[in-house]
Amino acid sequence: MRFLIRVVVNAFAIWVVSLIAILEVTVTPYPPGGDIPMVVTLLAIGAVFAIVNTIVGTVVKVVAFPLYILTLGLISLVINGFLLWLTAWITGFWGWGLALGGFGWTIVAALLIAIINAIFNAILRPQRSSDRDR
């Protein structure tokens, strides 16, 4: 269930970021035209992004742990930008999906996606039983 929530939140965050014209983030639906293909494409991109974050992101973050310490965590911006670029690269194989501008704008887009994800994770976080008793 958490994976589905993560996919929906990622899809929403990518959609919001694609609405900001200056970031040069575009979503190409499959097949072109209509709202339903766009929603399905956004959900597919959200699923790919969740899988990339889960598998590749974990490995990269463990390997880059010394860089986290040296840069006081600022390397996470570059890593998140790399993971978003990797998602665009993977979805680009099929002729639909995510298209990104320059790497600087990709980092800004990844930062906005992370902020939107953090807000929704705070809202949708499951409560522990000790929290419900209060």
* pLDDT over 60 (residue 82): yes
pLDDT given at position 128 = 67
pLDDT given at position 129 = 63
* pLDDT over 60 (residue 10): yes
Q: Please name the residue that has the structure tokens 């929403």.
A: 12
In single-letter form, the type of residue at position 131 comes to D
Cα–Cα distance measured from residue 8 to residue 1, given in angstroms and rounded to the nearest whole number: 11
Q: What are the tokens at 79?
A: 């890593």
- Computed over every residue of the chain, the mean pLDDT equals 89
Query: In the chain, how long is the greatest CA-to-CA distance?
Result: 51
Give the E-state strand segments of 11-132 in sequence order. 26-28, 97-99
